[in-house]
Structure 1
Amino acid sequence: MAQYRYKALNKKNRVVKGVVGAVNEADLYTQLQSAGLELVQCSEIKKSGGITIMRAPSVKTRDLLTLFINLEQMQGAGVPLLDALSDIRDATDNDRLRDILSETYRSVSEGASMSEGFAAQPKVFSNIVVSLIKAGEETGDLTFSYREILKYLKWQDALQSKMKKATRYPIILLAVVVLTVVIMLGVVVPQIIGFISNLGQELPFYTKALMATSEFFQNYGVYVGIAPFALFALYKILRGVSREFAYRADRVFLSLPIMGPLIRKITIARYAQTFAALYASGISVLGCLKSGRNTVGNLALYEAFENVEEQVKTGSSLSEAFNFTGEFPSMVVRMVRIGEESGNLTPVLAQVSEFYSKDVEESVDGMIAMIEPMLTAFLGGMILWIAASVFGPIYSSFGEMDF
């Protein structure tokens, strides 16, 4: 199925642009007509090396929250699924989401399930969302699935918002520090160096160090600025071509003093939240383990979760499998064991997720509280070094003058 970029007019004669999949232009016209849009112009998006040239606008978590809130309300009101998809599609402001809902509407109208339609958009609808909807279709209780999805998306959105809010000020402060260093070493210090050199006296070591640093920055500043981006690009390439490199790099990240525990806590919180939502919907333990594993980005922990699945397949309990890997804190193993023995695994895992979510927030706040004074001290030290290197020789020259 080809992807088409289109330009259309809605019922208010306003221009609407987007990207949608269609068999041909006639199919595209039919889809837009059903969505209440009048096709004005369209063109097929060409592909180069299997990669689409145009990049469609993203669908954010807030857009998905709005989608599933509407689906839950319409399901509770007894609105048929096709009518619900059509109404939400016409009301959404996100062009990309509207196009996805158009494709989903067509798939469902042709006999596919909604989970199959959403599964065709893996970049927008995660595996947990598709799994929960599929479970709701099998049990006939889509309302419960929508509620679990909303609970998961709200948790995810809250965690992302906290992380962004916590890191916003340190990023701004870091940018100020970098900009100050660039201006001082690249503009201010070179203008003063000539004057200091003409004083005709032995310069202190810290002034010589400043002059050497400024000269190095003038000669190789461009390379210093490019180096971080080049190293990051090299890291991404190596990570993509070598699984062993990716595993070792992730293992190093886990062993870092502050970042390592934070990565582990975020991963466990996301995994527990996913497992609890899926298990509450009636999905098997192995299905929950597989879906939860797909939310893990760290390869070292990913393989640990794979080992958990293998242990459960051989007959081990979930707590025993977690304990066997050696990657999970004893508190998690203990709480899972309690959940298994009491038959209340879902609330226990929800408590684990809530505990680690709060722990992540506290850890991030603590890390930010440490980074801020460090950056401030670095900036103050840099300014003090420049001031001492400049005014020190000048003050010494005054003492050697004969009045």
Structure 2
Amino acid sequence: MPQFIYRAMDADGSIIPGNMDAHNAPDLELRLQRMALDLIDYRETRQRKPLFGSRAVKRRDLINLCFHLEQMSSAGVPLLDGLRDLRDSTDHLRLREIITDLVEKIEGGLQLSSALAAYPEIFDPGFTSLVRAGEQSGKVNEIFRDLAENLKWQDELAAQARKAVTYPAFVLLVVVGVMFFLMIYLVPQLTAFIKNMGQELPFHTRALIALSDFFIHYWYLLLAMPVLLWQGTLWQLRRSERTAFAFDRLLLRIVPVLHKLVMARFATYFALMYAAGIPVLECIRLSEGIANNRVVAAAMRRARELIAEGHGVAAAFRQAGLFPPLVVRMLRVGESTGALDATLRNVAYFYNREVRERIERMQAMIEPAMTVVLGLLLGWIMLSVLGPIYDTISSIRI
């Protein structure tokens, strides 16, 4: 289906740009009319316009979508009517475009899960598989409720991670700015006075002067180095699958909370999909895509292969490695009792709580650590500058 970039006008007379899939120009105009927009001009393009800024569908938009559909389906409102109500009430232009297309696809005979699968960048395979399982079991409202709760958990966890990173990043920026000011402006003035004393300088003072000279002559390298290192790392990760695999393994080792976060995500999604009636092998296959870590995904793939060969679920995950004893133990209990989803929810609860506590402890430790680093930096400068001055004054005889 062609992609059109358009400009339209809403009821208030505001010009709204956008992009949308349509069969032709009349189809584009009809779709915009359903969104209460009047087409002004358009052009066809073969390249899908990337979604940035306010046009990107964020996690909170998906939470609102799931909550709305859960409430509507629980009240007995037909799916199409619920989607039309959401389309007419949302202010998010991109989401309105997507819902308009979903309505058209469902009116054309597709199920909701098949219509959602046309937007894999927004609705991942796990999301669409859960909706498909809900359609088959007649429990779509419960699926949307579980999806909304899971997305809320992810949003809260992301908010905590941002909170834990924002303050240290600000403090680090201030420390770097203070260091540049001291090394480029203040230290040269003080060292010029120290050199005029004519005495031999201690090692830490000479090191400070050398570092200050490096800042003065190569400041552009210091500013460009982090950017070049970051871009080079991203380029190498995209270029080499082996490097990306090794990088993911390194992350799991140096950031322990990341391993627990991946286990929490895996247990949550696995429990949701298994409770919805999705087969175990399919649950594991879909979990590989949401792991966001190649090492964990490879371990899941190995476990899936072992289960397909006839091994038990717990035994397969134990032989695959990487999965903590708690996960394997709870899988064994769930496998023997037939309540695999309940035991995995317990695992998810345990890891969710531990991840939250780890993030809070990290935030509490980073703040004093940054203060100590700044204090040591200032102490080194003061010692290197005032030490020779004090020695000179002490050697003066009155």
Distance 2:360 2:83 in 1: 41
**Change in CA separation of 1:188 and 1:23 when aligned onto 2, cut-off 3 Å:** farther
Partner residue, 1:74? 72
1:2-27 alpha-carbon deviations (Å, 9 max, x no partner): 33233322234344333221222222
Matches within 5 A, 1:179-258: 179-256=177-254
**2:327 equivalent in structure 1:** 332
Structure 2 counterpart of 1:64, one-letter code: L
Give the CA deviation at 1:400.
Answer: 4.2
For residue 20 of structure 2, what is the amino acid of its counterpart? V
Distance 2:189 2:363 in 1: 36
Higher mean C-alpha displacement, 310-319 vs 358-367: 358-367
Larger mean CA deviation between 193-202 and 330-339 belongs to 193-202
Specify the alignment match of 2:336 in structure 1.
341
**Which amino acid is the alignment partner of residue 60 of structure 1?**
K
Which residue does the alignment assign to 2:126?
A: 128
From 362, 366, 375, the equivalent of 1:367 is: 362
Check if 1:350 corresponds to 2:345: yes
State the one-letter code of the partner of 2:33: Q
2: CA distance between counterparts of 1:188 and 1:95? 52
| TM-score under structure 2 length normalisation | 0.94
Partner of 1:386: 381
Check if 1:90 corresponds to 2:85.
no
Q: Is the 8 A contact 1:17 1:95 kept in 2?
A: no
SS at match of 1:294: helix
Secondary structure (helix, strand or coil) at the match of 1:223 reads helix
Equivalence for 2:371: 376
Residue 391 of structure 2, aligned match among 373, 396, 399: 396
Displacement of 1:53: 6.5
Aligned equivalents of 1:399, 1:338: Cα separation in 2: 76
Match of 2:285 in 1: 290
Question: Is the deviation greater in 75-84 or in 7-16?
Answer: 7-16
Residue 43 of structure 1 deviates from its aligned partner by: 3.3
- Identity fraction in percent: 38
Range with bigger deviation, 352-361 or 233-242: 233-242
Change (3 A) 1:43 1:196: farther
Tell whether 2:264 aligns with 1:269.
yes
Q: Give the partner amino acid of 1:386.
A: I
| Alignment partners' CA distance in 2, 1:394 and 1:272 | 63
Aligned residues: CA RMSD: 1.9
Contact 2:288-2:297 at 8 Å conserved across structures: yes
Q: Tell me the CA shift for residue 60 of structure 1.
A: 1.3
Given the superposition, is the C-alpha separation of residues 53 and 295 from structure 1 closer, same or farther in structure 2, using an over 3 Å criterion? Answer: closer
Unpaired runs of 5+ in structure 1?
none
Q: AA paired with 1:25?
A: A
Q: 1:237 to 1:173 in 2, by over 3 A?
A: same
Contact persistence 2:35–2:97 (CA under 8 A): no
Contact 2:69 2:82 in 1 (8 A): yes
Instruction: Check whether the contact 1:332–1:352 (CA below 8 A) recurs between aligned residues.
Output: yes
Aligned residues: 397
SS, match of residue 111 in structure 1: coil
Q: Deviations over 1:173-228 (max 9, x none)?
A: 22222221122112222233322222222222211111100111122221122222
CA contact (8 A) 1:266 1:356 kept: yes
- Separation in structure 2 between the aligned mates of residue 158 and residue 255 of structure 1, nearest angstrom: 24
CA distance in 2, matches of 1:352, 1:361: 14
What SS does the aligned partner of 2:95 have?
A: helix
Shift of 1:242: 1.5
- Which amino acid in structure 2 is aligned with residue 66 of structure 1? N
Unaligned regions of 5+ residues in structure 2, if any?
Answer: none
Structure 2 distance, partners of 1:116, 1:185, is: 61
- Opposite residue 380 of structure 2, the aligned amino acid is W
Once the two structures are superposed, residues 279-307 of structure 1 have per-residue CA deviations (whole angstroms, 9 ceiling, x without a partner) of 11111111111111111122111100101
